Amino acid sequence: MPVLERVPLLEKDLKDYAAVVGDEVIEEIRTLAEPLQGARVLHLNATAYGGGVAELLATHVPLLRSVGVDAEWHVMQGSDEFFAITKQVHNGLQGADIAWTAAMQRVYLERVLDNSLAFEDEWDFVVVHDPQPAAILSFLHGSRLGVDPTKWIWRCHIDLTAANEKVWNFFRPFIEQYDASVWTMPEFVPNSLSTENIMYAPPCIDPLSVKNLDLALPFCEEILRQYGIDPARPIVCQVSRFDPWKDPIGVVDAYRMVREKIPDAQLVLAGSMATDDPESFQVWEEIEQARAGDHDIHLLSNLHQVGAVQINAFQRMASVMVQKSIREGFGLTVSEALWKGRPVVGGRAGGITLQIREGYDGFLVDSVEACAEKIIHLLGDPDGSTAMGEQGREHVRENFLSTRELRDWLSLFGQLKSGAAIASPSKSYGFAPEKK
């Protein structure tokens, strides 16, 4: 049995997005796809479920197919030990002081080698996501899979602005072997990275996914009641992975300050347990201890049959959405909430700063106290909150829908295929001629 697993996907049709983004955007995408008809594209990551990358690929790969690109999504195989190590790597790249030992490096490289031995078929483009499979190209150099005409791209979804030097220095030589790399923001790219063909392209949400489709108000209210949440009372909600960088304990602390002013407020902390994140169960237990049996703090996950429909309902019914991250690659849940017309109080971190325009469609905060203050402000001004949410929805329509991401990737594939010089973009996101 091959180590790499192919992820089965539902079909999507680009034309269905015309009602959301307009015919002009659809035609621009089809024009970009014309030189790439039949091109073989492989996306490789560590999990098919539970994280933002998996959500992105579940839409992006079918849309590539819809415009004539022969795209697939494969998932590497790991072990409990491997994923425990790569979670440490993730924390280290976001600035944590971890012990990065020779034994950890050996386990990492051995598992990536196993996956490289199962790598097969011929591809025009291979996109490798995040650090888990990052070293795979190094094991394929010299083989037909590791040289032209295949173009290799590394997509980093992590905020590396304060990366642990030991961990980054281990991964940097692997990244520098790629033909191009894609980052959420210029600030994430370490100055020590010596590579060309850098693209800046924030992730996007799918407006036609189950998580983002319109839901009737009575249906949403009934879902909330099923989970013991009162739809008639103010709801503060954070949707995220159970990860210390999302600061769920800080959200609990902020909520308790909010309730001093607004006693009937409720808090919903909802998310999923990702298969490549063993730390999530520990964080769950820490939140359980922090809420101390408070029945107005609702802690929910896929373990409680919370899926895309339930998350959709929670976001739509929230009075205020929160994403109080300390470090954040992007934070898809911010765009999800704004798309539903909900204002967001977010941590001043990473890609959240791209999505929230201060005082316009939400607020950026640096502390528990500031988070509580802004939540209280929004709860006390429902008309103003509604206006901010509406402005946020148009911001997402313009910048953070999956059609924009598809356009960016087609542009990258086209330029790598033609060997043309990298041109600066005319839009907000896209290519940059060099790392700033």
Q: What is the CATH number of the domain that holds 68?
A: 3.40.50.2000
389 shares its domain with 405: no
For the chain, the domain total comes to 2
339 shares its domain with 416: no
* Helices and strands (H, E) in the chain, number of each type: 16, 14
Report the b/e string of 141-167 with b at 16+ CB within 10 A: eeeebbeeebbbbbbbbbbbeebbeeb
Residue 429 confidence (pLDDT) above 50 = no
296 shares its domain with 274: yes
163 shares its domain with 279: no
Q: Smallest Cα–Cα separation from 254: which of 243, 265, 244, 245?
A: 265
260 shares its domain with 336: yes
227 shares its domain with 167: no
- Reported as a single tens digit per residue, the pLDDT across 119-169 is 888 999 999 999 999 999 999 977 766 667 899 999 999 999 999 999 999
- Reported as a single tens digit per residue, the pLDDT across 367-379 is 999 999 999 999 9
349 shares its domain with 406: no
Question: Biggest alpha carbon distance in the chain?
Answer: 65
**Host domain of residue 115:** 5-204+401-431
Mean pLDDT rounded to a whole number for the chain: 92
Q: How far apart are the C-alpha atoms of 3 and 108, rounded to whole Å?
A: 15
185 shares its domain with 238: no
Structural domain includes residue 436? no
CB-CB neighbours of 196 under 10 Å: 12
Q: How far apart are the C-alpha atoms of 317 and 314, rounded to whole Å?
A: 5
Banded model confidence at residue 426, pLDDT cuts 50, 70, 90: very low
Cβ 40 vs Cβ 124: under 8 Å: yes
What average pLDDT does this structure show over 288-293?
94
CB-CB neighbours of 424 under 10 Å: 9
pLDDT for 21: 96
Structural domain includes residue 210? no
